[in-house]
C-alpha cells in the first residue's frame, strides 16, 4: 500500500489528499487516527469520548481481543495495549498479566476493553464475572477500574454506565 501525503485543510480537523485513495486506504487512515486519539497524554472525559475510537480499532476483528486503556491520576492516556487474543467468542484473560502491565506503565486507573466479533456489544455473564475478578486484583495494588467497555460493530456498552463498577 502506498503512503498518501495529507495536507491540513482549511477547516480544523480536515485534511486534503494529493492522490487517489482506496477504501482500504481510508480504513487504514481511520485506524491510525483512532490510535492517535488514544495516544499518551490525551485526557479522557467520558466513555462516549473514546467509544468511536475503540470501535474503529476493535470492531472489525474476527476474534476476541482484550485490551487495556491505562491512564494517570488525571485520566490522561498512558497507553492503549491489546493484551490477549482469543477465538470467535472467547479470550483467556489472566489477572496477573493485567496487573503486571498496569504496574509497568505506572497506571493510576484502567479501562478494560474487549470486542465481540458478533457485532453485538451486549455483555455476557462471563464478561461481568471477569470484570469483578480484574477489579478485585487491581484494587490490591491501588489501581482503579474506571470502566469495562464492550465493543461491537453495532456500538459500545459501558459496564460503568450500567452500574456494574
Does a structural domain hold residue 87? Answer: yes
- DSSP secondary structure letters along the chain: -----EEE-SSTT-EEESS---HHHHHHHHHHHHHHHTSTT-B---HHHHHHHHHHHHTT-SS-EEEEEEE-TT-BEEEEEEEEE--SS-----HHHHHHHHHHTT-SEEEEEEE-TTS--PPPHHHHHHHHHHHHHHHTTT-EEEEEEEEETTEEEETTTTT--
Arithmetic mean of pLDDT, 98-125: 95
Distance CA 116, CA 151 (A): 6
Which position has the higher pLDDT, 46 or 141?
Answer: 141
Arithmetic mean of pLDDT, 93-114: 96
Residue 28 is predicted with a pLDDT of 66
Q: Are residues 47 and 30 in the same domain?
A: no
Q: Are residues 95 and 126 in the same domain?
A: yes
Range of the domain at 16: 1-37
Q: Are residues 113 and 50 in the same domain?
A: yes
Cell 491520576 sits on residue: 73
- DSSP secondary structure letters along 63-111: S-EEEEEEE-TT-BEEEEEEEEE--SS-----HHHHHHHHHHTT-SEEE
Work out the pLDDT band at 65, boundaries 50, 70, 90: very high
Q: Are residues 19 and 53 in the same domain?
A: no
pTM for this entry: 0.75
pLDDT at 141 over 70: yes
Q: What is the mean pLDDT of the chain?
A: 84
**Count: domains in the chain:** 2
Does a structural domain hold residue 163? Answer: no
Does a structural domain hold residue 143? Answer: yes
Q: Are residues 32 and 99 in the same domain?
A: no
Work out the pLDDT band at 88, boundaries 50, 70, 90: confident
Three cell numbers at 47?
Answer: 466513555
Residue 1 is predicted with a pLDDT of 44
Q: Are residues 98 and 117 in the same domain?
A: yes
Q: Are residues 28 and 60 in the same domain?
A: no
Q: What is the pLDDT of residues 126-135, one digit of tens each?
A: 999 999 999 9
Q: Are residues 107 and 130 in the same domain?
A: yes
Distance CA 23, CA 102 (A): 36
Task: Please state the φ and ψ torsions of residue 134, each to the nearest 5 degrees.
Answer: -70, -40
Work out the pLDDT band at 51, boundaries 50, 70, 90: confident
Which position has the higher pLDDT, 38 or 64?
Answer: 64
pLDDT at 35 over 90: no
Q: Are residues 114 and 93 in the same domain?
A: yes
Amino acid at each position: 500500500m502506498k503512503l498518501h501525503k495529507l495536507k491540513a485543510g482549511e477547516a480544523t480537523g480536515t485534511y486534503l489528499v494529493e492522490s487517489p485513495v482506496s477504501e482500504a486506504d481510508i480504513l487504514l487512515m481511520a485506524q491510525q487516527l483512532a490510535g492517535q486519539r488514544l495516544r499518551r497524554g490525551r485526557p479522557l472525559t467520558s466513555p462516549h469520548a473514546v467509544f468511536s475510537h475503540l470501535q474503529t480499532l476493535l470492531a472489525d476483528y474476527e476474534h476476541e481481543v482484550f485490551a487495556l486503556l491505562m491512564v494517570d491520576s488525571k485520566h490522561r492516556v498512558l497507553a492503549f495495549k491489546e493484551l490477549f487474543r482469543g477465538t470467535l467468542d472467547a479470550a483467556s484473560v489472566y489477572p496477573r498479566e493485567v496487573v503486571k502491565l498496569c504496574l509497568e506503565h505506572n497506571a493510576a486507573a484502567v479501562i478494560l476493553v474487549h470486542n465481540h466479533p458478533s457485532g453485538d456489544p451486549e455483555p455476557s455473564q462471563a464478561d461481568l464475572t471477569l470484570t469483578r475478578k480484574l477489579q478485585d486484583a487491581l484494587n490490591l495494588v491501588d489501581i482503579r477500574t474506571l470502566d469495562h467497555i464492550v465493543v461491537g460493530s453495532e456500538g459500545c456498552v459501558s459496564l460503568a454506565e450500567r452500574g456494574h463498577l
